[in-house]
């Protein structure tokens, strides 16, 4: 992990570069092409313009991910503390999720200032919703499941395949919380050609 962190820092500075500088440079080049193409046909500049626009779209996507990651880092750093940041996030969410009023069966609006009435309205709704009507016969599971065939047993016991592992990895949200190794799923998804075989062997070893 230490070697990876060092190599990523080197790659970020010397290979990937600063997103915002690259974005400004691309915008300047696109503006220059537009000025040169003003009323003049030039196939070379047209092709270059198309190529630069594709690069610009990639940078916009990278910038979006960067800000998403920065906001997540702030949450990891400050979110569990009793800080102004945490308090502000909580208040915004609370205001967004606050129920101001509900309508009862008679069409009357009960607002949050009538605290107990609003609470009782919600409680009564779910009590009525889940109250059984008529005679209740307990559901018995004894003997309800057919026995598995030998082929079904064999199917359940067979080794997980590399394709199943790949499908599971790519079904995860790329930017969700990282696993125990600190890497988010997007790392494995975007570098599957490099780490896929090793990860598949690791998972098969667990099975």
The pLDDT, as a whole number, for residue 89 is 65
Residues forming beta bridges with residue 101, ordered by sequence position: 111
Cβ neighbors of 195 (< 8 A, separation 6 or more) are: 188
Quickly tell me which residue has 């500049």 as its tokens. Answer: 45
Choose among 207, 204, 203, 172: nearest CA to 190. Answer: 172
Output the pLDDT for position 161.
93
pLDDT 10s digit of each residue in the chain, 207 long? 888 888 988 888 888 888 888 888 899 998 888 888 877 788 888 899 899 999 999 988 888 877 777 766 655 555 555 556 656 666 776 677 777 788 888 888 888 777 678 788 888 888 888 876 666 666 667 677 788 888 888 888 889 999 999 999 999 888 777 777 778 888 899 999 999 999 999 999 998
Q: What's residue 90's pLDDT?
A: 64
* Spatial distance between the Cα atoms of 37 and 135, rounded to a whole number of angstroms: 82
Could you list the beta-strand ranges (E) of the chain: 101-103, 109-111
Tokens of 124: 């009564």
134 backbone φψ class: left, alpha, beta (φ>0; ψ -120 to 50): left
Residues 23, 63: Cα–Cα separation, whole Å:
9
Angstrom distance (rounded) from CA 166 to CA 171: 9
pLDDT number for residue 78: 57
Please answer whether residues 166 and 200 qualify as being in contact, where contact means their C-beta atoms are separated by less than 8 angstroms: yes
């Amino acid at each position: 992990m230490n070697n990876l962190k060092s190599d990523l820092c080197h790659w970020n500075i010397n290979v990937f570069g600063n997103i915002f500088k690259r974005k400004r440079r691309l915008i300047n080049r696109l503006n220059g092409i537009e000025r040169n193409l003003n009323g003049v046909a030039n196939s070379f500049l047209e092709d270059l313009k198309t190529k630069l626009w594709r690069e610009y779209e990639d940078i916009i996507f990278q910038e979006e991910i960067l800000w998403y990651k920065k906001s997540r880092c702030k949450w990891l750093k400050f979110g569990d503390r009793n800080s102004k940041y945490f308090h502000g996030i909580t208040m915004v969410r609370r205001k967004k999720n606050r129920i101001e009023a509900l309508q009862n069966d008679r069409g009357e609006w009960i607002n949050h200032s009538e605290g107990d009435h609003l609470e009782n309205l919600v409680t009564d709704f779910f009590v009525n919703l889940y109250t059984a009507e008529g005679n209740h016969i307990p559901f018995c599971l004894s003997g309800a499941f057919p026995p598995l065939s030998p082929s079904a047993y064999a199917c359940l016991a067979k080794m997980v395949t590399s394709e199943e592992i790949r499908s599971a990895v790519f079904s995860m949200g790329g930017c969700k919380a990282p696993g125990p190794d600190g890497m988010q799923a997007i790392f494995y998804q975007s570098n599957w050609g490099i780490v896929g075989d090793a990860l598949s062997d690791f998972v098969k070893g667990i099975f």
